[in-house]
Structures are given as C-alpha cells and as structure tokens.
Structure 1
C-alpha cells in the first residue's frame, strides 16, 4: 500500500506448489525484504488447482507483476504452468523432496520452446529472489544498487570467514601472513598480448555482431558450442534485440576473458552457452553483477555435467538456467526480461509466445 492508502501491485509474485515449501520461500522473502522489492505470495498446485494457477498468473500479468517465482518439489510442473500463461520472466526454484530434488530440477528446467523457466539451484530460494532482483534492476537503478550491495555482503562474509578460520589454525608450519595482500594483473600487462577472442557470424545477413553497445552478450565457451549459440542469436534477431557474440574460454584465456568482460560492462545481460564443466557461466558471474542466463550443451554425459555445474550456484550468485540444448529458450527469456520496459520487444515476444508456440 502506498502512502496515500492506494494498493500498489507487487513487482514479484511467489507461488508455492505446497505450503510445505514455505521454508524455501522464506529464503526468497528475506532477500526481497533486503532488496526492498514488493512481492505477493500464493499457494497453488499445477496439478490440483490448475485453474487457480491460470487465473493468478493471467490477472497478475495484467496488473503489473514483472517477475514470477515458482517454488515446487517432486514433479515440479508449477513453474512451467506459470510460464504457459505469461510473457513475463518466470524463475523456477526446485525443492528437494525426493531423489535429492533432481526430479523437480528436471521438471523445471527442461521446458519446451517458447516457454522458458529460469531455473536456479535446488532449494535456492535466496538465489531465485536475487535473480528476480537482477531482472527488476535492469530498469530500476535503486534495485540494481541494492543487488550490488547484497553481492558485496557475500564477499565480505567470505573475507570474515577466512580471517576467523586462519586464527583457529595452530599448525607449526602454517604461514599465516603469506599473500595477505596481492595485486591483480594490470590492463597494461594484458595489452601486451594479442587478444584470444574470435568474432563470429560477421559476414552473415541474418546473424551479425553489433559494434556499438549491445543489449546482450552471447558467450559460447568453445567452437563446439557455436551451433547452439546460433539458436540463441536467431531468436534475439526475431525479437529485435541487439547483441555481441564472441567465442572465448575463461579456462584457456582467463586474462583475455576478463578484458572482454570489461568491454561488455554496459550490456543488459549475458547469455553463456557452454558444455562440460561450464566454467563460462561461473566466470561471468564472478566478474559481473549483471544477470546471467546459462545454456547447458550436451558434450559428454548427455549434458548433465554442464546442467548441474551451471544451475547449482552458491548463494548470492545465481544463473538463470534453461534446458540442455535449448538456446532458443534463452533468447525468449532475454526477450521476457528486456520486454518489461521495451514495448517493441514485448510486441515481438507476444507474437512468438502466443502465435507460434507450435514451432
């Protein structure tokens, strides 16, 4: 309620599949309170109260809710059911009820085109709320600042934990003062070497890299990920979203990766397309406070290694993960996020979601 007594629509709606999920929801609530973002909370089952889910989502979308968070365990179809009735971004938080929560994780993340669910780690209600804050922060400087402050609090906690741990170690050979201070590699040192980034698709008429500040940076971790990256940028093209795309590995060329991230500091969000142990997403999150969408690729183990290393991020650094080999959904998710403030993108997005869902 505003100061004049008029009820205001919340920015975020949290929907629980069951009241038993409240412990996970509380993590999200605590974060949203810290970020000072208005929210609503409802309990509705995708299977037992499907009409309620539909009515809640449709009405909330028309009344200005910008992000939905679906929290559910077992056959967690709730986030997907939410995504079926809105063109706003949906975040899925799988809950560990059985089999370590893998059933809920797969049900949430493996959504068909064009109905993405930005899935975070199992039981990570906190990361779901931080991701929602990053989405709101794309167009809200105050929320963006609070998300940044929250990120810094996690950094400070690690520093304090290290200091406490060191004081408790009493080994005779333990060198407590070693590398207490260190210097990062300077930009001048980096400039001495040739860059190891490779621009791709420059000559294509339908897929091109833009030189001015793009809205989105698409980062395939290797050339084996390029085919999936094509699906991402083709979707961005259809939605009228500008982008940069570069193949660059943070493992093979970490210094150049950091330099590229500095060059992309003004983009709205990142989309990482990567297989195997998926260091690309983690490296982007480590070097930027911008929102990150992760696309796992199937290189080994049917892509499960990539999926799990992308989605199960520690507290404070979420990656909104889409299904294995579903780059098109990453493009749609980017459109849902950017379409909140851009009517042209929203128009194209609605056409894609509501008119061509059978593609």
Structure 2
C-alpha cells in the first residue's frame, strides 16, 4: 500500500519530478502516481484523493505549472498534508506557479517547496519527514541521509585544502 500519493497536472511534468521519485525510492517509501488536471478532469482528481485516503496514504505531493491550481484543489478535498511543487514554466520561470501554490487562503494549507530539481527532491524529503513522525525507521534514514550530506561537504573541503583553489576550480569545471 502506498504511503504517499503523487499527482501532477500533466504527464509532461513527470520528468521534472525524477528527483522526487528517486528520493522516495531511496528511502523505501511506496507511492502512487497519477497525471490528472485540476481543470480538465476535476472529477478524477476528487476520486483519486478519496482512493488515496481509503488506501491509507498519509501525505500527498501535488505538482503543477502555470496557473498551478492542482495543489490547492487537492488540499480542498482532503485533510491530509499536501506538499505543492511549482513546476518551472517558460512564461515566468516558475514564479507564476510558485505564487499560485504559496498564496492559499486561510484554512486550506499547502506546504510549498521550491521550483526545479531542489523542489522535487525537497518535496520527497518533506514527505518522508512527515512519515517519520510515526516511524523510527524513516527517522533513522533521514539522519543517515543528512550525515551523508555532511560527510560529502567535509570531504570536498578537505580536497579543496589539499588541491588549492585554482586546481579545485579546474576540477569542478572539468566535470561540466
């Protein structure tokens, strides 16, 4: 049974959420994914939310671009935590999506993350954090994840100290 429901406004948004899917997979979190439009298929959005609730899902991640009404529509149909991912757009680089998702009326909250790859990954991490409130395994996995990040930064700084700034920059540029 999935613990997280993920809904996107269009299947073209799915590749932009790879970081979300990969992070949930890395943490061993089961999830269900659907591509339903808040405007074109609102009845399917509502039915999917009911199914997610009856299946025991604990968190919903909703991603949308442009008008980006989907996360708010989802939040209006459930009391489960909803995490909104604003999808970057060509019109305003995702600012339109971000503002649409973050400006929810009082009483219908949507936790909103950044646009881009960081937002997709952070949405998954926030979902795991919510699940971790009642699951010590997820708590430990989050601690391990952060420890690994810290270790990576320490190792990079050790390399920087050994190589010096110019060699380090040269190595960074060679990776591009």
Match of 1:99, SS state, is: coil
What displacement does 1:146 show? 0.7
1:88 to 51, 58, 80: 80
More helix by share: 2
Counterpart in the other structure of 1:24: 16
Q: Kindly indicate whether residue 63 of structure 2 is the aligned counterpart of residue 71 of structure 1.
A: yes
Give the whole-Å Cα distance in 1 for the aligned partners of 2:165 and 2:75. Answer: 54
2:155 to 152, 156, 160: 160
Q: 1:23, CA displacement in angstroms?
A: 2.4
Aligned residue in 2 for 1:45: 37
Q: Which residue of 2 aligns with 1:107?
A: 100
Cα deviation for residue 111 of structure 1 reads 0.7
Give the match for residue 238 of structure 1: none
Q: Which residue of 1 aligns with 2:140?
A: 145
Structure ranking higher on relative contact order (CA contacts 8 Å, 6+ apart): 2
SS of the residue 2:94 aligns to: helix
TM-score between both structures, scaled by the size of structure 1: 0.44
TM-score by length of 2: 0.87
Aligned residues: 163
Q: Determine the C-alpha separation between the residues in 1 that align with 2:11 and 2:68.
A: 14
Two-structure CA RMSD over aligned residues (Å)? 1.4
Instruction: Tell me the CA shift for residue 45 of structure 1.
Output: 0.9
CA distance in 1, matches of 2:86, 2:25: 21
Residues 119 and 170 from structure 1, CA distance in 2 versus in 1: closer, same or farther, beyond 3 angstroms? closer
Choose from 112, 116, 123 the match for 1:119: 112
CA separation in 2, counterparts of 1:149 and 1:19? Answer: 33
> Could you list the per-position Cα deviations for residues 107-164 of structure 1 after superposition, in whole angstroms to 9, with x for gaps in the alignment?
1111112110000111211000000000000001111111111111221222222223
What SS class does the counterpart of residue 93 from structure 2 fall into?
helix
SS at match of 1:143: helix
Structure 1 portions without partners, runs of 5+: 1-8, 172-359
Q: Distance in 2 between matches of 1:152 and 1:170?
A: 25
Once the two structures are TM-superposed, the CA of residue 75 in structure 1 deviates from its matched residue by 0.9
Q: Which runs of 4+ in 1 moved over 4 A?
A: none
Instruction: Report whether the alignment pairs 1:56 with 2:51.
Output: no
Residue-by-residue CA offset, 1:305-343 (whole Å, 9 max, x unaligned): xxxxxxxxxxxxxxxxxxxxxxxxxxxxxxxxxxxxxxx
User: For 1:312-323, what aligned pairs fall within 5 Å after superposition?
Assistant: none
- Give the superposition deviation at 1:170: 5.8
The unaligned stretches of length 5 or more in structure 2 are 167-176
Q: Give deviations 1:202-228, integer Å, cap 9, x for gaps.
A: xxxxxxxxxxxxxxxxxxxxxxxxxxx
How do residues 194-205 of structure 1 correspond to structure 2 at under 5 angstroms?
none
